[in-house]
Amino acid sequence: MIKRGIVAEGTIHVVITIDPEKDHVQIEAKHDGLATSRQAQAAVEVIAHVAAGQGMKNTVKPAPKAKKSEASKPDADRPDTEKPERHPLKG
């Protein structure tokens, strides 16, 4: 089986907050837009898995989703764009 994917060069910032008194780890990821939120989430899950292996409880904050650009929005959401009239027989 061949899997295809998109490889993007970007930066993922992972913030790890450790509270040794409560034996708790908080993990949060941010990305620069070139790296995807899925890549950032995968990095966080790896760190959470390692922390759980050490016996620590963890809280994972999901990476924020990238905002859609104006071009990727459906026509109904765009501000006042002219739609060409469609021929009644062509659909």
Number of Cβ within a 10 Å radius of residue 89 = 5
Q: Which residue has the tokens 């990095």?
A: 43
Query: At residue 67, what are phi and psi to the nearest 5 degrees?
Result: -75, 140
pTM above 0.85, yes or no: no
Instruction: In the chain, count H helices and then E strands.
Output: 1, 3
Mean pLDDT of 57-84: 60
Task: Provide the sign of the torsion angle of the four alpha carbons 23, 59, 46, 15, taken in this order.
Answer: negative
pLDDT of 17 over the 80 cut: yes
